Structure 1
Amino acid sequence: MREYEGSSRLVFDKMNYKDVASWNIMIMGYGMHGFGGEALDMFHGMCEAQLRPDEVTFVGVLSACSHVGLVSQGQEFLVQMQSQYGVVPTIEHYTCVIDMLGRAGQLEEAYELVSAMPIEANPVVWRSFLAACRLHGNATLAEVAAQQVYELEPEHCGSYVLMSNIYGAVGRYEEVSEVRYTMKQQNVKKAPGCSWIELSDGVHIFVTGDRTHPEDYLIYARLNSLTIRMCEHGY
């Protein structure tokens, strides 16, 4: 990434005219790849160039804060974007901050923000919060988030699977069975895992539990052989 990041920065620095979109692209790029400090440097450079940040700018800034754990800075930006720059926070901005708090393990603060924000939380917000609960093993708040997702997107299988995993991680196997039973009753199905490999003669696709490949026997024999060799070497 550093190679491409350096190349894009060189192109950016050589541009005679840099508009808001140009700065936004750099901020988003840095933030997406974990270079939070560089993203914030670009933001400050944009302001020094007398350009006014817009909604997209702050999505990039808040996302950068989320990816590198700059929690206090992210919270400050959420306030400043409206008070100093006149940009009213949208659901995308709140989602970034909720994701940031969730990643940092500040689940109570994240839930308070979901409850207090002036915009009704959509499924993306609740799924982000649910994923954070899964990450930090908080089944109580996960149940709150999951219930919201179930009501808003009853056919979204990912939330059921997440909740099942959360219950399983804390040993609540009866609830695991209940979630799976609910999925069956609601006819919610999880797409099977899939992988593929491209060879000279085309693309070969493998689905979990599928044994229909014409060279199935040879493939699994080879996999078993490799597994044995890995075990012999301590893997």
Structure 2
Amino acid sequence: MPVRDSIAWTCLLVGSVQCGNSPFAIEMFHRMKTMEPPNETCFVAMLLACSHQGKVYDGRSYFTSMAFDHGLAATRKHYGCLIDLLGRSGYLEEARDLIAAMPWTADYANWTSFLGACREARDLKNAAFGASEVMGLGSRVAAPNLLLASVLEQERN
């Protein structure tokens, strides 16, 4: 890269993850840290990269490193990425605990991500809990109901 500033690095990381090249993004992130401090968006990219690769330990490390090593506060997006990572990797109880521990109320996206993970894991108990939480938000969107119905159908078969 001719110009190696935070904008260029962030674009490289996000673009690599979006194009499915998470290993390259992770490699570039570590190279970037030697030249430029990472910003919040860089950490979103790293959490997404870990989610795509099922790297739970690494994802947790990035999440923790944001605050302790770089003084960055986790945003809703960071929490959402970590919920997705935990859920996709089958850590439903930990995802649920993270949702409960967030410094704000979980939103529709958090619960829908959790429900999608419950569907993949065929976990009816957590799916029912997640669906009730989404319905408690007053959303009229059909996706949570469809995800719960999918889990129920899997349970029936």
Q: Please give the range of the TM-score, normalised by the shorter of the 2 chains.
A: over 0.9
What secondary structure, in the 3-state scheme, does the structure 2 residue paired with 1:170 have? helix
Q: Distance in 1 between matches of 2:91 and 2:43?
A: 21
**Structure 1 runs, 4 residues or longer, greater than 6 Å off:** none
| Structure that is richer in helix per residue | 2
Q: Does the aligned pair in 2 maintain the 1:31–1:65 contact within 8 Å?
A: no
Q: Distance in 2 between matches of 1:154 and 1:99?
A: 20
Name the aligned partner's letter for residue 141 of structure 1.
N
How much identity, in percent, do the aligned residues show? Answer: 34
Partner residue of 1:175? none
The answer on 1:155 being equivalent to 2:140 is yes
Q: Distance in 1 between matches of 2:81 and 2:139?
A: 24
Q: Rg bigger for which structure?
A: 1
TM-score normalised by the chain length of structure 2: 0.94
TM-score normalised by the chain length of structure 1: 0.64
Give the RMSD, CA atoms, in angstroms: 1.3
Q: 1:8-157, aligned counterparts within 5 Å?
A: 13=1, 15=2, 17-49=3-35, 51-157=36-142
Name the aligned partner's letter for residue 67 of structure 2.
Q
Q: Does the aligned pair in 2 maintain the 1:28–1:64 contact within 8 Å?
A: no
User: 5+ unaligned residues in a row in structure 2: which ranges?
Assistant: none
Q: CA deviation at 1:33?
A: 3.1
Q: What does the per-residue CA deviation read over 1:75-101, in whole Å, with 9 as the maximum and x for residues that have no partner? A: 011111010001100110011011001
Q: What does the per-residue CA deviation read over 1:96-136, in whole Å, with 9 as the maximum and x for residues that have no partner? A: 01100111111111111111122321111011001000111
Q: Distance in 2 between matches of 1:153 and 1:18?
A: 46
Q: CA deviation at 1:32?
A: 2.4
Partner residue of 1:183? none
